[in-house]
Amino acid sequence: MASDSYDVIVLGAGPTGENVADRAVRGGLSAVVVESELVGGECSYWACMPSKALLRPVGVVSEAAAVRGVTGARLEPAEVLARRDTFTHDWKDDGQVEWLNGAKISLVRGHARLSGERLVSVGDVTLAARHAVVIATGTDALVPPALAGVRPWTSREATSAKSAPSRLVIVGGGVVGCEMAAAWSALGSRVTLVSRGALLDRLPAFAGELVAAGLRDAGVDVRTGVNVSAASRAGGTVTLTLDDGTPVEADEVLAAAGRTPKTAGIGLPSVGLEDGTWLSVDDTMRVTDVDGGWLYACGDVNHLALLTHMGKYQARVCGDAIAARAAGREPAVVDIASRTRVPQVVFTLPEVAAVGLTAEQATAAGLRVRVVEYEIGNVAGAKLFADGYQGRAQMVVDEDRRVIVGLTLAGPGVGEMIHAATIAVVGEVPLDLLWHAVPAYPTMSEVWLRLLEAYGL
Ligand SMILES: Cc1cc2nc3c(=O)[nH]c(=O)nc-3n(C[C@H](O)[C@H](O)[C@H](O)COP(=O)(O)OP(=O)(O)OC[C@H]3O[C@@H](n4cnc5c(N)ncnc54)[C@H](O)[C@@H]3O)c2cc1C
């Protein structure tokens, strides 16, 4: 049995694993990542990149259709799919491997599993870590038991399919379900979206309501408040029975009902952890239930925020913490964003963008909050952006500190507006100071001024 030593060993070369290794190397350490599939992870090949490559043309056509005087914008599905394939590099990772080489990060291909304190096995090889082991193995799609026997699509097929099924039923009204409904209905599928609750139910209700209306306008059959009670497949046809007794037939069914951690079979019991569990971490990404302080977990696998940008942020925090501790110091920077200040954009029809806490979450956290809302369509920039612009902004203010703790925007083109809100929330910019951040006229960002005026400034 061969053995190699590195300062840091990372399990998984997704966006998180790549970044934690990079940060450790920048901090003067040696690092190896172990990858069982493609360097770049879910995000590059079956999630963010291909899904947004499918959705951007949909957004362009929808925006063009909302401006009088613009005609002729339409999708060419084969070209959209071909463009998508350029973003996934035809599911080859040569470019990302080159990046690893340039960043002086070693790569071992194979399935990694912990085999004891600071030890990782890959086939016959044992890797030993001088300072830290980082688990960044990500998540898999969660397939509800009712769908297990009908060979459902998961997010992987939904982002990599080579053609649109004639009829697609999507089970799950969260981000993946809503985004894929927008994409595949525009690409030619007749889509039924089945959701147990309201759409996007972790966000303020108006966001899901606008998206439900937008998807219906786009031809999606949106059914909320229903679940799948049975499913069967005969040849090319899947039949779902909903719990209100209605049958739904389709050629493909997409399970978009959440994620499950890829932590089964990676040797967690060898260090005293339960197989297949989410990993709980402190604010430097160190796993809380393991002695010795050598095991870290970043990205999806710690369940703090299942988003690429948050995984990469945690990777920076984690890599810096490992490098600091290796040098005998405590880390200067720890995670202040993952639990309460997470930005997110949902690329649906229309877009939804949010950061921080909802009013319910802020109240549950013991804050005295005030909620202010404004119709984005009233500002000149929105009227110019789309005829009959429909959209809303909601600001959640911590009344005791007079700072914004959460902001949600729903409407065409709002995705690019969220970073201003992230700066306000993370920077805890006092409202009286924010009032002097003058939005340019005539942009949609004037909604900031209107929200502050509605608040009473
Ligand atoms: C359809 C869809 C769309 C999404 N869109 C967005 C978006 O627009 N923006 C956004 O921010 N987030 C988006 N996400 C979420 C995003 O994809 C994840 O948050 C992100 O990929 C997590 O990165 P990660 O590095 O933690 O895990 P992953 O990207 O899952 O990478 C983990 C890597 O570890 C490897 N691995 C696993 N087990 C082992 C093992 N035992 N040994 C060796 N290697 C192993 C895997 O092969 C994989 O390469 C989307 C998700 C889905 C499903």
Report how far residue 445's alpha carbon sits from residue 223's, in angstroms, rounded to the nearest whole number: 33
CA-nearest residue for atom 1, ligand 1, is: 47
Mean of pLDDT values over 392-397: 98
Residue labelled with tokens 């934690």: 20
Find the 388 Cα to ligand 1 centroid distance in Å.
37
Using a pLDDT cut of 70, give the percent of the chain over it. Answer: 99
Q: What digits encode the pLDDT tens for the residues 39-59? A: 999 999 999 999 999 999 999
Find the 259 Cα to ligand 1 centroid distance in Å.
10
Report the atom number in ligand 1 closest to the C-alpha of 136.
Answer: 26
Q: Indicate if the alpha-carbon torsion angle 169, 173, 175, 179 is positive or negative.
A: positive
Report the atom number in ligand 1 closest to the C-alpha of 308.
Answer: 11
Find the 300 Cα to ligand 1 centroid distance in Å.
7
Q: What digits encode the pLDDT tens for the residues 273-292? A: 999 999 999 999 999 989 99
Return the pLDDT at 235: 87
Position 444 pLDDT exceeds 80: yes
Using a pLDDT cut of 90, give the percent of the chain over it. Answer: 99
Report the atom number in ligand 1 closest to the C-alpha of 158.
Answer: 1
Pocket test for ligand 1, best of 32, 307, 312, 352 (most atoms within 8 A of CB): 307
3-state secondary structure of 323: helix
Q: What digits encode the pLDDT tens for the residues 404-413? A: 999 999 999 9
Position 3 pLDDT exceeds 90: no
Report how far residue 454's alpha carbon sits from residue 432's, in angstroms, rounded to the nearest whole number: 13
Mean of pLDDT values over 316-333: 97
CA-nearest residue for atom 8, ligand 1, is: 48
Mean of pLDDT values over 407-421: 98
Return the pLDDT at 78: 98
Q: What digits encode the pLDDT tens for the residues 108-122? A: 999 999 999 999 999
Find the 138 Cα to ligand 1 centroid distance in Å.
5
Residues in the chain: 457
Report how far residue 371's alpha carbon sits from residue 107's, in angstroms, rounded to the nearest whole number: 49
Q: Which residue has the higher pLDDT, 289 or 302?
A: 302
β-pairing, 403-410 with 392-398? antiparallel
CA-nearest residue for atom 12, ligand 1, is: 307
What global pTM score does this model have? 0.97
CB 268 within 8 A of CB 114: yes
When the pLDDT of each residue in the chain is averaged and rounded to a whole number, the result is 97
Q: What digits encode the pLDDT tens for the residues 128-152? A: 999 999 999 999 999 999 999 999 9
Find the 277 Cα to ligand 1 centroid distance in Å.
16
Mean of pLDDT values over 243-247: 93
Report the atom number in ligand 1 closest to the C-alpha of 48.
Answer: 5
